[in-house]
Structure 1
Amino acid sequence: MSSDDRWSAQRYNTNASFVYSSQYTSPTLNLLAPRPGERILDLGCGSGDLTIDSLLPAVLPGGSIVGLDSSSSLLSKARQNLSSSSTSSNDKSSISWIECDGHDLASLGKDGQFDAVFSNAALHWMKRDPQRVVNGVYGLLKPGGRFIGEMGGALNMVGVRSTLHAVLANHGVDANKVDPWFFPTPEVYRAILEKAGFRVESCDLVPRLTPLPTGLRGWLETFAFAFLDALPSSADRKAVIDEVCRRVEVDMKHDVGDGGEGKWTVMYVRLRFKAWKE
């Protein structure tokens, strides 16, 4: 694992398996409508669960999938998942994995090698230059190719994000400098797609109440590492997690029994889109 890779495949699979569950990914996969024989790039494939279980079977026979992610930890887990899957050896050869930052897609070439680029819950992490990411996608697609994705949109994790900023400020940290997320409105992302040359078929916000299997603490430990790493000690990080959970539980923690246990539900707001390269 590279020294700057803060992802943990174990935490991701334990605390956030809903990210790649069929319950939440089927609408975007239906929008993609992959077909046998197609070559598809899974941009931000994570631990490869969706890549292996949903994308690969849809393009067989004759098709292939490339799973791309910037995290060596997640890609290592993806390779393990493929190796242990029931997929035949011949079909396993139809998946390849690439470790690459989504901002650097141009390094893969601009020869129109993919019928489609698909992305689930990854583009909002590519904050440094979203236009560069989309331009890179455009270059990788064949004429007539499509770009389908779902990412965090405006108001995603509302309440949790603002509370992180407030609590970090009390610890002397300017959260604006470390916040890793790009949660655009449909108008903003449509403009980015169109500037790259895409014809946008749809681009909409989809609010989604999302239960957290290990509570907000597990979610913060999995996804809020950019905020937590700005703090000087593990004690400070624990204190921030405790304070964020305490502040937002009145809205997000439900069915609390005598023992204090309860179920956490947060408001995910997804931006789902489909665009074409003409």
Structure 2
Amino acid sequence: MATVTEKSVAETAVPPAKKSTGRWGGIGTVIVLRVLVIVAALALWQLMSGPVVPEYAVSKPTAVAQSLADMLGSAAGWTDIKVTTVEVLAGFGLGVAIGTVMGLVLGSFPLLGRVLEPLVAAINGIPKIALAPLFLLFFGIGSWSKITIAMTGVAFVVFYNIYLGLRMRERELVEVVQVMGGQRHHVLGYVTIPTLAAPFFAALKTGGPLAILGVIGGEFIASTEGVGHELFTAAQNLDAAAEFAGLIVLVVLTLLLNGVLTALDTYALKTLGLAARRRPGAKA
């Protein structure tokens, strides 16, 4: 009876959080306001292009829409999108793999980390776009030079997040698991992976735009296809409409990549949370 009373008092003292159901606080209102802001910005752009700002510099939303339709309606446009997407995904995946391995190795062996971390920092200090000509000389103007540029930027971000995450790992928790008879795989599952989950996914979200930046930069310098090549060609031809159309494609690509990473982040953290509750001795 005492237990029931305590539970009732606790539930009364801390009422469950309620979703906002106010007239102006719903998700529908937020979406409508976002749409209105976008429509207002496009209308202002359409009206100011020409009378206020030179049309050749900013084009018009109607012209941009037509250029985007032409791009998506042609085989060459989709080829450029496909090439850039493959290069971004390949560079991103290789960068994540290399950065993870580097971070785990240098973070797991303190002496090796102290020796090599300054060298890694020195190499990371070189602007990645400055390495592009070197990669182009080595790999040529094909896709591998762009993949390597993207991979380099992503690898360093992932490395530092993993490396610092391992250094911030609570030594007391590791010792507790070891005292209780836990092996290396227990330390990995109960301490290391939960500690590295947040910085790892933060690195992924940071590395996505860096991969796109690296690929577009490489395509700007030397390429025969890709969205970056089309952007460079449009700039040379003073075609602002095509330039904005290419930027819209890059924005959509960035949002799709970020959406996938966010979904993976949510799923992974939720899975780790459930696993933590199922550990022996964990409180419900």
TM-score of the pair, normalised by structure 1: 0.22
Would you tell me which structure has more strand in proportion to its own residues?
Answer: 1
Would you tell me which structure has more helix in proportion to its own residues?
Answer: 2
Of structures 1 and 2, the larger Rg is shown by 2
